[in-house]
Amino acid sequence: MLVPLGKSRCLFGTDGIRDVANRGLMTPEMALRLGRSYALFLIERGVSRPTIAIGRDTRRSGYMIEMALVSGLLSAGAEVASLGVIPTPGVSFAVKRLSCDGGAVVSASHNPFEYNGIKFLGKDGGKLGDEEEAEIEDYLADVVFDEWRPTGSSIGSVSPRPEILHEYTENLVRTCCLGADPELSIVVDCAHGAASEAAALVFGRCFKKAALISDRPDRYNINDGCGVIHIDNVATSVLSEGYSLGMALDGDADRVLFVDPRGRVIDGDIILWILGRWLLSEGKLGNGVVATVMSNKALEEKLSQEGITLQRCPVGDRYVLDAMRLSGSNLGGEQSGHIIAGDFFPTGDGLGSGLLFLSACARLGEDTDTLVDRFERYPQVLKNFHTRDKDAFLGHSEVREAISKASFDLGDLGRILVRPSGTEPLVRVLVEARYDTLLEAVSGTLFERIAKVASSAAFGSLGGGEEP
């Protein structure tokens, strides 16, 4: 099942608005206008005086963007609960804990420190949908709204709530550490990000032999050679120090990946496989598991062996959540490490997912040393084809015929995924097959045929051809 996308947005991507801080879309002026727009969005939905929980990660620009965003909210009459530096899922927790009308996170997730971003949360603590974000964008150009300004006691106020970080971590320990082996030796890479303090509070409570690395943010070093996008950092620690497992977070701590004792990556697909089996055994899975189109076919096979259906959705954890709501599933996620467990947290939570994974392994009696070997991942190859007209390119008879022929040749032993880029003039083609020989044969012919079209006069003005 593919969940259809909602109303088109211009500024918001799959995870909020991002840009180099103090430039382009991420200036204080834009943050202020976004704050006002979000407040009016809530007011016009019947919330007379919105309450908003706000948190940020460890970037140098975080305070600047947060203060501008807060100013915009206050100028529209909203009340703000200021959480300080806290993981994105901590803001989600605060929204529900404080009965707020929404939330906002100032973070650019895995991007370098010079970037920053803003994403909004709904009353349930989950990310807003496409249509809701599009409505917020509409208010940015509303002249009447721009002139509307409450005065006096109608102006909003700020309440610092630093205690929420401790309440959030206490809740994680209580609800997600469900039988994990306290003797497990684990090293956690905090990416010098929002979880640097939270991880210490959580893993210091749950494990006797937990160590933290990349947990000293200096406002410049977030994601710098560490975290999920530099998984080799924690893998090196595991191999050199002999830990049982390594765990890596991203800058805002809504993603998690593991490495096994041999330094091999345990990605979101494997985590979903283990959590799906565990939740099924507990009678808490609901209707199957949701994953994006990027998840390996091996996940589908492994879940099927347990009688669990896999439903696929577009890339982005917001679409995972949409599909979970529509299907009645309590588990979904992405290969990249965004995991949503509906009974535990309404948005991706790296710390929570990590604890649940370790608890599930203990409950199922799983040997984490063998998970990568047993998952039997389908080999993949991905290539990008440049084109000035993505729709016409995909509709070209030769391209369609080549994809159809390759799909027929793969049969049940693989799949083909074709994705036009949302930000660049290119089309991505992924081929996945059970065997290397089959992958090589099918992808070679397919890519050769598509490359001829991409390099033709009709589509090759951007240089044509393909690139890895």
pLDDT digit string, tens, across residues 117-167? 999 999 999 999 889 999 999 988 776 677 788 999 999 999 999 999 999
Amino acid 268 reads: G
Query: What's residue 333's pLDDT?
Result: 97
pLDDT digit string, tens, across residues 41-76? 999 999 999 999 999 999 999 999 999 999 999 999
For residue 197, what pLDDT band results from cuts at 50, 70 and 90? very high
As a whole number, the mean pLDDT across the chain is 92
Query: What's residue 102's pLDDT?
Result: 98
Query: What's residue 318's pLDDT?
Result: 87
Query: What's residue 144's pLDDT?
Result: 66
Query: What's residue 142's pLDDT?
Result: 77
Q: Which residues contact 44 (CB under 8 A, 6 or more apart)?
A: none
Alpha carbon distance 191, 216 (integer Å): 9
CATH code for the part of the protein at 167-374: 3.40.120.10
Strand pairing category for 79-85 and 102-106: unpaired
Amino acid 309 reads: T
Q: Do residues 417 and 384 make contact, with C-beta atoms less than 8 angstroms apart?
A: no
Residue 5 has pLDDT above 60, yes or no: no
How far is CA 136 from its chain centroid?
21
What would the two tokens of residue 8 be?
Answer: 């088109």
Residue positions annotated with a catalytic role: 109
Q: Please give the model's pTM, rounded to 2 decimal places.
A: 0.90
Percentage of the chain with pLDDT > 70? 95
Q: Do residues 40 and 145 make contact, with C-beta atoms less than 8 angstroms apart?
A: yes
Residue 463 has pLDDT above 60, yes or no: no
Q: Do residues 60 and 108 make contact, with C-beta atoms less than 8 angstroms apart?
A: no
For residue 423, what pLDDT band results from cuts at 50, 70 and 90? low
Alpha carbon distance 95, 210 (integer Å): 30
The per-residue b/e assignment along 180-205, b for 16 or more CB within 10 angstroms, e otherwise, is bbeebbbbbbbbbbbbbbbbbbbbee
Q: Show the beta-strand stretches assigned E in 251-360.
A: 256-259, 265-266, 289-292, 310-313, 331-333, 339-341
pLDDT digit string, tens, across residues 340-399? 999 999 899 999 999 999 999 999 999 999 999 999 999 999 999 988 888 899 999 999
Residue 38 has pLDDT above 60, yes or no: yes
What would the two tokens of residue 190 be?
Answer: 């905090």
Strand pairing category for 466-467 and 380-386: antiparallel
For residue 418, what pLDDT band results from cuts at 50, 70 and 90? very high
Query: What's residue 13's pLDDT?
Result: 82
Query: What's residue 467's pLDDT?
Result: 45
For 380-467, the fitting CATH number among 3.30.70.260, 3.40.109.10, 3.40.50.1170, 3.30.310.50 is 3.30.310.50
Alpha carbon distance 37, 191 (integer Å): 32
Query: What does the pLDDT average to over 247-273?
Result: 97
Query: What does the pLDDT average to over 300-304?
Result: 96
For residue 315, what pLDDT band results from cuts at 50, 70 and 90? confident
Query: What's residue 419's pLDDT?
Result: 87
Q: List the domain boundaries for the chain.
A: 17-161, 167-374, 380-467
What are the phi and psi torsion angles at 363 (to 5°)?
A: -65, -35
CATH fold match for the domains 17-161 and 167-374:
yes
Residue 34 has pLDDT above 80, yes or no: yes
pLDDT digit string, tens, across residues 184-194? 999 999 999 99
Query: What does the pLDDT average to over 319-331?
Result: 94
Residue 1 has pLDDT above 60, yes or no: no
**DSSP assignment string, 25-88:** T-SHHHHHHHHHHHHHHHHTTT-SS-EEEEEE-S-TTHHHHHHHHHHHHHHTT-EEEEEEE--H
Q: 17-161: which CATH architecture?
A: 3-Layer(aba) Sandwich (3.40)
Q: Do residues 331 and 272 make contact, with C-beta atoms less than 8 angstroms apart?
A: yes
Neighbours of 93 (CB within 10 A): 29
Query: What's residue 196's pLDDT?
Result: 97
Residue 412 has pLDDT above 80, yes or no: yes
Amino acid 246 reads: G
For residue 413, what pLDDT band results from cuts at 50, 70 and 90? very high
Query: What's residue 71's pLDDT?
Result: 97
